[in-house]
Structure 1
């Protein structure tokens, strides 16, 4: 009787070990798919040109702002396509392997990123 219980327990353990990795892999794939569907900067962020909370001494030029945007997202492994520059604001699409993952609005006077996706 005890040997049957040991056999059953061992069999159950082997089955668990075989199915657990695939279950965790499926969950991980679902989570990464959900993360890709969400904006990259959902609550906004600041670039390196200005300090935290949008304290800038002067408004940056469009060229410096564009470079700051590209640097910020390249550190995350993403590409940026500038759509429009209007006054102090820059609208850009953030792409991951050619697919748009976020659309942002950058305020060059505060250094603030906002997702408008």
Structure 2
């Protein structure tokens, strides 16, 4: 069990980081608990230089059942079609509204002409 590198959370950043030392040599007893960790955590988090950053631990694989996987695949494949359907619906709605407005204007013009004629 001691072989595996354990991801530790850095006090200034919430993300998981690899330990500073190589996991083959355990750190000496004098460095077992650095006393400044709590104080530095209390201060504002400072940005570390780029070369200080450690690589992320590998991502865990999320196991899903066959049916769930099929559902997810279907959703992903259908997404563009659904989107185009929504967009075309919006376009049709705009078109209908415009036509209605035109009809209303035409009817109003006819009414006005009829009233003036009488």
TM-score using structure 2 length: 0.32
Higher fraction of helix: 2
Choose 1 or 2 for highest CA Rg: 2
